Amino acid sequence: MPQVVARRLQGLITRGEWKPGQQIPSQRVLSEQLEVSRASLREALQTLETLGLIRSEPGRGTFVTYGQEVDRGPELRWRYADSFSLLDVFQTRIMLESQIAASAALVAEGEAVEALVAATDEMQRGWEAGDLVANVEADLLFHRIVVGQCGNRMLQVLYDNVAGLLTETQRQPIPRTRTERMAESLAEHRALIAAFRARDPEAARAAMAAHIRNTALSAGVGLAP
């Protein structure tokens, strides 16, 4: 439900019904207008803020930032900063997901590999259509499929326990992602798919590590080789 709400709100922004710089209605008003729970609405708004479509300003309200100049400074706003740094989370991702990818490459079924292809294609379509919510949801699905194929229940449980943090780093770089970087990200997904088809665990490990390292750079975080 939160992602459905996020897409509805994104539509109001991209269609120009909510204009750049405009203050959007309060959560109470929006939840009544959309007939959704406040919890689903809050999560949807958090997604849109991470994607750079809106910005919440304490004491003032929430404003549309879509179409405005993106701050490409070294740091992005990180909603979990009080608990873990972006560096902490990207380091965890590269350790955990690289091993998951290596394990999955040995056992992934053909149907799952085709699902990875479909998710990557949907990710590309979302980007080309300017549908950032669809783009990110396809990216999240891609990584979830990889986790589901790894064949190691403990790795899957470890991933699930921190999934909220890990997946937020997939949304985090989007506001300053250029088309060239998105093309690279799609190519990195396809390199991982090729490793799965070859049942090559080390190629899969390297492909996932490179992908996460490059995503971290997009978020302003450098990871050691």
pLDDT tens figures, 13-47: 888 888 888 898 888 888 888 888 989 898 888 88
Q: How far is Cα 153 from Cα 139, in angstroms, rounded to an integer? A: 22
Per residue in 92-114, pLDDT (tens digit) is 999 999 999 999 999 999 999 99
Sorted by where each starts, the structural domains of the chain and their CATH numbers stand as 2-64 (1.10.10.10), 86-218 (1.20.120.530)
Decide: 99 and 155 in contact? Cβ < 8 Å: yes
Bridge partners, 55 (sequence order) = 63
pTM, two decimals, is: 0.85
pLDDT given for residue 67 in this prediction: 73
Which of 16, 74, 17, 24 lies closest to 54, judged by CA? 24
Residue 213 CB neighbour total at 10 angstroms: 19
Share of the chain above pLDDT 90, in %: 48
Decide: 97 and 62 in contact? Cβ < 8 Å: no
Residue 31's alpha-carbon distances to 27, 39, 150, in angstroms, are: 6, 9, 39
pLDDT band at 212; cut points 50, 70, 90 = very high
Decide: 104 and 151 in contact? Cβ < 8 Å: yes
pLDDT given for residue 74 in this prediction: 45
pLDDT given for residue 200 in this prediction: 98
pLDDT given for residue 55 in this prediction: 87
Is a pLDDT exceeding 60 seen at residue 71?
Answer: no
